[in-house]
Structure 1
Amino acid sequence: MGMAVDGLISGLNTTQLIDSLMQAEAIPQTLLKNKVADSTTFITAMQSLNSKVAALATSAGALAQPAGVDLHTASTTSTAVTATAGTGAVDGTIDFTVDKLAQSQVIVTGPLTQWPDQPPTLTFVAADGTTTQVTAASASLADVAAAINQAGVGVNATQVSAGLDPSTGQPLYRLQLTSAKTGAAGAFTVYRGTPADVAAGTATNLLSDPGAAQVRQAQDAQLTLWAGTAAAQTVTSATNTFSDLLPGVSVSVTATSATPVTLTVARDDKSLTAAANSLVSGVNGILTFISQQQAVSTSTDAAGGTVVTGGPFTSDSTARDVNQQLLDAVIAPVNGISPSTYGISITKDGAVTFDSDAFGKAMAADPVTVKAALSTIAQRVADASTAASDSYTGSISLKIKGEQSTVKDLNDQITDWDTRLADRRSTLEKTYANLEVQLQQLQSQSSWLTGQLGSLPTPPAG
């Protein structure tokens, strides 16, 4: 902005006059800024709607899957046995005893000041007969342990203090060797020597050294079904978890039990009811949000008149379409049966409600049909939500992108107006500055003429 001095000659407040003229000149730009503000508010509301609808698409899609409605609970009569029911679980009970827990193999060497062989060469023989040679950098027990841990033989080595050598006073240590995994498949044998020595029978089994011992034997966990009957059957696992002991049911054990443990699998109506209620709540939350953004408010202006202001979604077709598509997805009949039969209804105000009692009664009467209907409704909601919120093709996403493009164009026009208005102000300032110069020149000429006239001789009196 140029620097202007209020009229020294004219006496005009040119700064105020120019500001008033510029306010009139800037009206088109002000209108553009108002449009940007309205569009920004609309975009923000649409983005919030899109996030809600996208979240609904995810949750409804999960409910529509077989695992979404095929819900069961699994319980046992023992605190040492926990069970989890997943996809494919069926109602029923079964008894079993817990005979063994899975455990890793643990052996320890005798007390040593250093490894007895130089260089320290060991051969590990796995349960499947695979042999692996490990050679340490030195006879230091720390080096031997490090070599074992880095060899990837499925065995972890730990150096453990074992007191002092009574004859030399040197520190003694044992190496504890533990299979990295539990189960019989984790069993191993360690020999001092190479694989060739092992094959030739000349290698020394580490457990035959003085003071060496096997602390724990590798074993699988074991259950016995129908124990004590002619149908008794053992089931083993490398861990303390038995996956799919029954279809879709896994069992974890923490203690043995000679007394039979009863496992019970039952339909989880409570969780299914909560899932149905969550679906309806998700849809209803979006419908409520759209209604709030469509609401028209009134206020009073300075003159006492009533001002009516629409919400961001007032008259917006995209929001109306999303609203209707979600309603249709929830309340449309399923195989000719109204969802109200399953407790899902619409009120006169357009809200969706869920009656858990009605849903429970329907489940008690025909759980297969109810679960299939709920899955169908959830899939329709997921499809409608995805069609609206998809990042590339969703109606809401496309609307947001279009509005953002409009805002960009408007901001470009506003920037152009900044330049135009700056030029206009500069022109006005120059115009009024020139006016002052012209007035000063006229004033100077007037003063000169007055002086010339005053210097003329006065004519003699007649």
Structure 2
Amino acid sequence: MSTSSVSSSSGSSLAIDGLVSGLNTTSLINSLMSVEAVPQTLLQNKVVSTNSFISSLQTINGLVQTLATKTADAAKATSLNVFAATSSSAAVTATAGASAAAGSVTFTVGATAAAQVGVTAAMSTWSSAASPLTIVGSDGKQTTVTPASGSLDDTVTAINKAGAGVTATKVAAGTASDGSKLFRLQVTSTATGSAGAFSLYRGSGADVTAGTATDVFAETGAAVVTQARDASVTLWAGTAAAQTVTSASNTFTDLLPGIGVTVSQTTTDPVTVTVAQDTTKAQAVASGLVDAMNAVTKYYDTNTGVTSTTSPTTGTTSTTAGVLLGDATTRSAVQALTSAMAAPVNGKSPSSIGISITRDGDFSFDADAFQQALATDPEGTQAILSGIAGAVNTVASTASDKYTGSITTAITGQQSVVKDLNAQIDSWTDRLAQRRATLQAQYSALETSLSSLQSQSAWLTSQLATLSS
């Protein structure tokens, strides 16, 4: 009788190998199960390869969707109408927005916007006891607050919590004759412009209305350091058409359509803001279209190529095919995109505006050719670019639409395949578990039978020995 051994295997419980037969039943069962599990292993390998295929489909679909977005913008009849604004003076900066148009305007800067700043007289405390104070805005609105005490700190806190459009700060102001420290309250409007003007009174709102409240900034030693004011520019200064435009901030948004003008200091000489087509941004529209197209073709080429690898130890050469090789959906989409990108527009080749196809199937962009075309025939250049972009957009949208796109549909189909494969794998897991249990029962029964036969053999042997004696 062999020595018993204890072992366990995947999917089985702890079992004792053949006590009677001497067989390593666990090893035998595992060997049999490895053969039984071949179909499930093939299914698992299929899931891995299909998921890799889905991942590549999703990547190229995302690249085509990006191309569709860019071509949708480039296909607009005004896609090259991008503008830049320049100023003739460092005192003025200008920026062009999406709705900007070519033009210019000349003006002088009369004032910059400012927030009101008021400073109180020097004092060691606001008042002997808690007493109300009232802030009056430029619109006459009164806000009355009562500090927790007559201290300057409590007064600052009360003003800052009032929500009256002003903030207060305690500022050191030297020392009094008796040696006590003096401070001033600096009160500033939170917004620039004349609408931010305010007054500060000692007293309630009723006192202000009655005219008995004390104007803090009119006290001895107090002052309004900076008056609230709007920024202002005067167009066509010195002519009968002179017109002044004001802004609560230093930025004007309505001097020219789509143009933001910011002033930083007053001027005596006229300032001219000019808006013209930005050829650099226009070029970026065309080159961006080429870049997005090349991103698709390069990814497709990389994932349809065949690579060979030679082992340095064995010298064996193995080849690996790209995951998209042989896929008709992506091949058809890329071919259609390439054809649309290279097709003439109104009898004119895309190369006339610097877009050319290479012998590798990618596209190149000639910036000099584009700029020359834009300078000599801006309308024709726009028409060709819009035509190319429109044709490519149609193909890209057909391939990558999130509901009906051909690549999107292929992804959905492959995901259904994976779902079905996983269901089969789960079914095989149950089937294999049952098969293992059956084999374990069979070998257990074998051990029982062998044990019984062994007992019978021993009895017969003893009986024969008795007869012989």
User: So what's the TM-score if we normalise by structure 2?
Assistant: 0.84
Aligned residues: 457
Q: Does 1:141 align with 2:152?
A: yes
Describe the superposition over 1:25-61 as per-residue Cα deviations: whole angstroms up to 9, x where unpaired. 1111011101111111112222322333344444444
Deviations 1:214-242 (A, max 9, x none): 10111122233344445443332222222
**Which blocks of at least 5 consecutive residues in structure 2 are unaligned?**
1-11
Q: Could you tell me whether the CA contact under 8 Å between 1:124 and 1:191 is conserved in 2? A: yes
Please list the CA deviations of residues 178-218 of structure 1 after superposition, one character each: whole Å capped at 9, or x if unmatched.
Answer: 11111222222333334444344333322221211010111
Letter of the structure 1 residue corresponding to residue 370 of structure 2: F
Query: Separation in 2 of the partners of 1:389 and 1:171?
Result: 75
Aligned match of 2:201: 191
1:41 is matched with: 52
1-structure distance, mates of 2:468, 2:144? 136
- Distance in 1, matches of 2:133 and 2:79, equals 53
Aligned to 2:170: 159
* Structure 1 residue 140 displacement after superposition: 2.5
Shift of 1:277: 0.8
My pick for the range that moved more, 427-436 or 61-70, is: 61-70
RMSD between superposed Cα atoms in Å = 3.4
SS in 1 for 2:268: strand
- SS of equivalent residue, structure 1 residue 245: coil
Partner residue in 1 for 2:187: 177
Instruction: Provide, for residues 253-273 of structure 1, a one-character-per-residue CA deviation record: whole Å limited to 9, x for no partner.
Output: 223332333433322112211
Question: Is 2:382 the partner of 1:371?
Answer: yes
Q: Quick check: 2:116–2:226 contact (8 Å CA) kept in 1?
A: yes
8 Å Cα contact 1:2-1:426 kept in structure 2: no
Kept after mapping to 2: 8 A contact 1:36/1:407: yes
Are 1:356 and 2:359 counterparts?
A: no
- Per-residue deviation at 1:299? 6.9
1:285 matched residue in structure 2: 295
Corresponding position: 1:18 with 2:29: yes
Does 2:371 match 1:326? Answer: no
Deviates more, 1:49-58 or 1:263-272: 49-58
Counterparts in 2 of 1:281-430, with a 5 A limit? 281-297=291-307, 310-335=321-346, 337-375=348-386, 377-378=388-389, 381=392, 384-430=395-441
> Is residue 28 from structure 1 mapped to residue 39 from structure 2 by the alignment?
yes
Distance 1:88 1:174, change over 3 A: same
Structure 1 unaligned runs (5+)?
Answer: none
Give distance in 1, aligned partners of 2:54 and 2:467.
80
Q: Work out whether residues 78 and 382 of structure 2, in 8 Å CA contact, stay in contact via their aligned partners in 1.
A: no
Give the drift of 1:344.
2.2
With 238-247 and 3-12 compared, the bigger mean Cα shift is at 3-12
Rate the CA distance shift 1:217–1:304 in 2: closer, same or farther, 3 A.
Answer: closer
Paired residue type of 2:30: D
Secondary structure of the residue aligned to 2:269 is strand
Structure 1 window deviating more from structure 2 (102-111 vs 359-368): it is 359-368
1:247 alignment partner AA: P
1:86 aligns with 2:97: yes
Residue 150 in structure 1 maps to residue 188 in structure 2: no
Contact 2:127 2:151 survives alignment (8 Å): no
TM-score calculated relative to the size of structure 1? 0.85
Amino acid at match of 2:188: T
Equivalent residue for 1:125, pick from 136, 139, 145: 136
Kindly tell me: are residues 315 and 182 of structure 1, through their superposed partners in 2, closer, same or farther at Cα, counting changes over 3 Å?
same
- Structure 1 counterpart of 2:245, one-letter code: V
Determine if contact 2:119/2:222 at 8 Å carries over to the other structure: yes
Residue number among 89, 102, 116 corresponding to 2:113 in the alignment: 102
Task: Give the superposition deviation at 1:300.
Answer: 8.7
Residue aligned with 2:424, SS:
helix
